[in-house]
A and B are shown apart, each in its own frame.
Chain A
Amino acid sequence: MIRYVISRLLLSIPTLLGVATLIFFMLNVLPGDAVETMLRAEGGNPTPELVASERARLGLDRPILVQYGDFLSGLATFDLGTSSWTGKPVVEEIALRLPVTLQVAVLAMLLALAIAIPLGTIAGVYHETWIDYAIRSFAIGGIALPSFWFGMLIALVMLWYFNWLPPLGSPSLFDDPLRLLQQLALPAIAIGYRYAAILIRMMRSSVIEVMHEDFVRTARAKGLRAGHIIRRHVIPNSLLPTITMIGLEFALLIGSLVVIEQVFSLNGIGRLFLDAVSRSDLAIIQGIVMVLTVIFVVVNLLVDFAYAAIDPRIKLA
């Protein structure tokens, strides 16, 4: 198992390096001069000397490979540069907002799992009955509704019927966990619903497939009770494709947060990303894409470890 973990960790290094290289060169081949645009946006016609001195100040006058080397060494030391809008280190700007984004994402994921595993299993076990139809309708609703629209809808429902909205500000997990939960619950529901819907369908299909496997038939023939068969044999064997989907969907969930944070006025990196795009703040954009990549790689590593824990064949291979 330890060898497996180490090999997966080592494999993630070239993945991150590849993504970092792609981000750096893609942003550097974009048309237009970011420095000139920034100076012109501040007013007047910047002289070529001013543009040159600003480029020198930001280190953009050096050869591209030297800049690339600096970018990589910055990444290794958590130095992602400075925001051209606020003048603050990018790491500081992201660190301020990352906890909110991760908290919503994790809460949404937990909510989705809590809904999807039981409902997917029930739908699979009772497939082609009214229970299955009801659960499938619920899942189709989740896939069909855009998360941002569903978020706006539940916010309006809470406002109109209960005159309540999630509290404002930035409550801390340690100082005021209840307030934090109040703030994050609606956004987590808004994006967790879609996440759950996809997992329900995946879980249902897996359960139906596993229910027809020989070992389940054997368990039945041995006279084991249905509940025991489902808990001990069907659910663990149905979880593998669902876990794959959890990893893949987590990245999409982070993407959904870009809009959801705007809807619920949450101070997360999704909102920072939108602001950075509208202000052409390349350092922030680059930093956020890098952080999201790291999150995606880490989640998929965890998914791989979960496989190994659940399925001994992977560990042994």
Chain B
Amino acid sequence: MNLRHRLSTLVLATTIAATGTFSAIAQDQPKSGGTLRYAVSDDPADFDCHSANHFAALMRLAPHYSTLLRFKPGAYPEIDGDLAESWQADPATMSYTFNLRPGVKFHDGTPLTAKDVAATYERLAFPPEGVVSERIEAFRQIANIETVDDATVRFTLKAWDTSVLGTFASPWNCVYSAALLASDPDYPKRKVMGSGPYKFDDFVSGSVWKASRFDGYFRPGQPYLDALESYTMEGPAVANAIQAGQVATDFRGVSPASAERLKGAMGEGVAVESGPSLTHFLVTFNSTKRPFDDERVRRALNLAIDRWGAAKALGTTTEMRFPGGIFMPGGKFASSDEELKQFAGFGGDIEAARAEARRLLKEAGQENLTFNLTVRNGPPIVVDFGVFLIDQWRQIGVTANNQVVETPPWAAAINSGDFEAITDIYSALREEPTEQMTKYISYDQSARSAGRFTDRELDGLWTKQTTETDEAKRKELLRAFEKRLYEKSYSLPVVWLERDVAMASALRGWTFSPSNFLYLDQSSTWLAE
């Protein structure tokens, strides 16, 4: 059975498992009451969804806020209205018009109107001085935001782009109070006040975040739980706490080894949902620095990586399970195994690829190449990935020095271009090429693309696919993009992760998806016991 079949089976198994869960839910009516306790690996630096970039921040903040649209629970990746009751897309005027639900209230009792939505998106798309909008590139197509009346808001785009709809469903785009923003544009950093299913109660840094049911929540009967308590913990402590019944889960997931251990120890007391994740590891070369400004050197380093072997070797002990390109393996936009094998760096014959890599290095005069690989000192798997790459390059005579640094200097290096080669993790919110490809286009088009290169052919293919409505033609453009990217080897996807979420069997109503960022508001989560 090849990888694609195995993945399809896995996706199917997940779907069946999820369907089974939903059937069970359909039979079991959601119960109200109880406190959901869960683990979160880190604390947020502040409370602003718009400037946050760590999933741990979203795990704490999402239950307190509503968004314009949302990913429909139990139906990933279907998009549903959250604050918006309905919406109209008009390609002729390049506008989206949203009609808001009536009677929505903030936790302080003030009504939520179109003014609040408009003020929120103004802050996201056109942040005032001193305000950080972390995902500002997602709003690049927004030209104007207009409040039609108290219940209607209209967005006019610079160019028609259907991918923008997913942006309105992003859980990062928490809707804030316009009145509070007017008095202090930076208030969300220090105050949690939204219209989501749970009200903020207390936060003890390094320990626990507490929230309680918002009785004025706009979805009748929801939320089901009385309270949420999320505890700061990570590593083996999480699996231990799940086994001891102290927490129900960590929605981010646990390692495959921990998932197996919990299944063995808890039997039917735990349910593990597994599936491909929208997270992959990549390595980027700084194309402005010698010798990485030479295509032959980058391509040689690409050819030396045995991605198929990596998945076999690393996948037995870690989440690094699937070789893949820039789209999630097994997903609707991914290349098939056969297509991948046509691309540079993905061929089945690693020895032939490495012989070609040595030839290219010789031709470039870099047979004894030595450089620094900057690796973030994050979870052990991140460091493991760096060690794997170094070992792959060692096999073609290249010496990469493992430069493990803490997160701030790593982030500073990737943002400033002060590196030779650097490893990175990219977690996408959804399968949407326009968003996912921003990691791999020219730097002047996307600051997320760390390689500092300029390649108008790649940029052109990216732009073309944003407006291509024929799925087959769009896929052709995506394949052409991938082919060019791997040949030029500016930045290389290497391996994709699996997501294993272990949950106490009493936890119901939560939706498993390939993304760490979704379904964290806990509006439909309930406890059976």
- List residues of chain A with CB under 8 Å of any chain B CB: 32, 36-45, 85-87, 93, 96-97, 152, 155-156, 159-160, 163-165, 167-170, 262-265, 267, 271-272, 275, 277-280
**Residues of B26-62 whose CB lies within 8 A of A:** 37, 45-46
Query: Within the complex, which residue of B45, B241, B411 is in contact with A265, where a contact is CB–CB below 8 Å?
Result: B241
**Residues of B231-285 whose CB lies within 8 A of A:** 231-233, 235-237, 240-241, 243-247, 265
- Provided the pairs A85-B45, A169-B231, A267-B232 are in contact, do residues A159 and B408 lie with their beta carbons within 8 angstroms? no
A278 lies within 8 A of B231 (CB): no
Nearest B residue to A170 via CB reads: B207
Give every chain A residue within 8 A of B411 (Cβ-Cβ): 40-43
A272 lies within 8 A of B206 (CB): yes
Give every chain A residue within 8 A of B265 (Cβ-Cβ): 160
B206 lies within 8 A of A167 (CB): no
- List residues of chain B with CB under 8 Å of any chain A CB: 37, 45-46, 132, 134, 189, 204-208, 231-233, 235-237, 240-241, 243-247, 265, 377, 406-409, 411-413, 415-417, 447
Give every chain B residue within 8 A of A163 (Cβ-Cβ): 243-245
Nearest A residue to B412 via CB reads: A40
Give every chain B residue within 8 A of A152 (Cβ-Cβ): 236
Query: How many angstroms between the C-alpha atoms of A258 and B245 in the bound complex?
Result: 26
Query: How many angstroms between the C-alpha atoms of A40 and B245 in the bound complex?
Result: 41
Query: How many angstroms between the C-alpha atoms of A32 and B418 in the bound complex?
Result: 13
Give every chain A residue within 8 A of B241 (Cβ-Cβ): 165, 168, 265
- Provided the pairs A96-B204, A156-B240 are in contact, do residues A40 and B232 lie with their beta carbons within 8 angstroms? no
Nearest B residue to A162 via CB reads: B244
A267 lies within 8 A of B415 (CB): no
Give every chain B residue within 8 A of A263 (Cβ-Cβ): 237
B408 lies within 8 A of A280 (CB): yes
Query: How many angstroms between the C-alpha atoms of A97 and B189 in the bound complex?
Result: 22
Give every chain A residue within 8 A of B417 (Cβ-Cβ): 45
Give every chain B residue within 8 A of A36 (Cβ-Cβ): 412
Query: How many angstroms between the C-alpha atoms of A236 and B411 in the bound complex?
Result: 58
Give every chain B residue within 8 A of A44 (Cβ-Cβ): 415, 447
Give every chain A residue within 8 A of B243 (Cβ-Cβ): 159, 163
Instruction: Identify 29 residue pairs between A and B in the complex whose beta-carbon atoms are under 8 Å apart, listed by A's number.
Output: A36-B412, A37-B412, A38-B408, A39-B412, A41-B408, A42-B411, A42-B415, A43-B411, A45-B415, A45-B416, A85-B45, A86-B46, A87-B45, A96-B204, A96-B205, A97-B206, A155-B240, A163-B244, A164-B244, A165-B246, A167-B246, A168-B231, A168-B246, A168-B247, A169-B207, A170-B208, A265-B237, A267-B206, A275-B206
Most buried by A among B132, B134, B206, B208: B206
Nearest A residue to B136 via CB reads: A43
Nearest B residue to A97 via CB reads: B206
B408 lies within 8 A of A267 (CB): no
- Provided the pairs A159-B244, A163-B244, A165-B240 are in contact, do residues A265 and B408 lie with their beta carbons within 8 angstroms? no
Give every chain B residue within 8 A of A280 (Cβ-Cβ): 406, 408-409
Most buried by B among A41, A44, A272: A41
Give every chain B residue within 8 A of A45 (Cβ-Cβ): 415-417
Distance from B353 Cβ to chain A, minimum over Cβ atoms (Å) = 36
Nearest B residue to A264 via CB reads: B237
A37 lies within 8 A of B246 (CB): no
Query: How many angstroms between the C-alpha atoms of A272 and B416 in the bound complex?
Result: 28
Give every chain B residue within 8 A of A32 (Cβ-Cβ): 409
B205 lies within 8 A of A40 (CB): no
A86 lies within 8 A of B208 (CB): no
Give every chain A residue within 8 A of B46 (Cβ-Cβ): 86-87
Give every chain B residue within 8 A of A264 (Cβ-Cβ): 237
Query: Within the complex, which residue of B233, B246, B247, B412 is in contact with A41, where a contact is CB–CB below 8 Å?
Result: B412
Distance from B239 Cβ to chain A, minimum over Cβ atoms (Å) = 10
Give every chain A residue within 8 A of B247 (Cβ-Cβ): 168
Most buried by A among B241, B243, B415, B417: B415
Query: How many angstroms between the C-alpha atoms of A32 and B417 in the bound complex?
Result: 16
A271 lies within 8 A of B208 (CB): no
Query: How many angstroms between the C-alpha atoms of A155 and B412 in the bound complex?
Result: 38
Distance from A95 Cβ to chain B, minimum over Cβ atoms (Å) = 11
B409 lies within 8 A of A37 (CB): yes
- Provided the pairs A37-B412, A267-B206, A271-B206 are in contact, do residues A278 and B132 lie with their beta carbons within 8 angstroms? no
Query: How many angstroms between the C-alpha atoms of A93 and B207 in the bound complex?
Result: 12
Known: A168-B241, A265-B233. 15 other contacts (CB 8 A): A41-B412, A42-B415, A44-B447, A45-B415, A87-B189, A93-B205, A165-B244, A167-B246, A169-B204, A169-B207, A170-B208, A265-B241, A275-B206, A277-B406, A278-B406
Query: How many angstroms between the C-alpha atoms of A278 and B409 in the bound complex?
Result: 9
Query: How many angstroms between the C-alpha atoms of A160 and B262 in the bound complex?
Result: 11
Distance from A279 Cβ to chain B, minimum over Cβ atoms (Å) = 6
Give every chain A residue within 8 A of B377 (Cβ-Cβ): 278
Nearest B residue to A38 via CB reads: B408
Give every chain B residue within 8 A of A39 (Cβ-Cβ): 412
Interchain residue pairs A-B with the least CB separation, the first 9? A40-B412, A41-B411, A267-B206, A265-B233, A267-B207, A165-B244, A41-B408, A280-B408, A37-B412
Distance from A266 Cβ to chain B, minimum over Cβ atoms (Å) = 9
Give every chain B residue within 8 A of A275 (Cβ-Cβ): 206
Distance from A288 Cβ to chain B, minimum over Cβ atoms (Å) = 13
Distance from A154 Cβ to chain B, minimum over Cβ atoms (Å) = 12
Query: How many angstroms between the C-alpha atoms of A64 and B456 in the bound complex?
Result: 49
Give every chain B residue within 8 A of A40 (Cβ-Cβ): 411-413, 415-416
Nearest A residue to B448 via CB reads: A43
B240 lies within 8 A of A41 (CB): no
Distance from B455 Cβ to chain A, minimum over Cβ atoms (Å) = 21
Query: How many angstroms between the C-alpha atoms of A315 and B191 in the bound complex?
Result: 57
Give every chain B residue within 8 A of A279 (Cβ-Cβ): 406-408
Most buried by B among A159, A168, A278: A168
Give every chain B residue within 8 A of A156 (Cβ-Cβ): 240
Query: How many angstroms between the C-alpha atoms of A159 and B241 in the bound complex?
Result: 9
Query: Within the complex, which residue of A87, A167, A265, A278 is in contact with B232, where a contact is CB–CB below 8 Å?
Result: A265
Distance from A47 Cβ to chain B, minimum over Cβ atoms (Å) = 12
Query: How many angstroms between the C-alpha atoms of A47 and B236 in the bound complex?
Result: 42
Give every chain A residue within 8 A of B406 (Cβ-Cβ): 277-280
Query: How many angstroms between the C-alpha atoms of A41 and B54 in the bound complex?
Result: 13
Give every chain B residue within 8 A of A41 (Cβ-Cβ): 407-409, 411-412, 415
Distance from B267 Cβ to chain A, minimum over Cβ atoms (Å) = 13
Give every chain A residue within 8 A of B37 (Cβ-Cβ): 168
Query: How many angstroms between the C-alpha atoms of A212 and B237 in the bound complex?
Result: 50
Query: How many angstroms between the C-alpha atoms of A39 and B132 in the bound complex?
Result: 12
A170 lies within 8 A of B204 (CB): yes
Give every chain A residue within 8 A of B447 (Cβ-Cβ): 43-44
Most buried by A among B204, B244, B247, B408: B408
Query: How many angstroms between the C-alpha atoms of A59 and B231 in the bound complex?
Result: 35
Query: How many angstroms between the C-alpha atoms of A262 and B37 in the bound complex?
Result: 19
Give every chain B residue within 8 A of A277 (Cβ-Cβ): 406
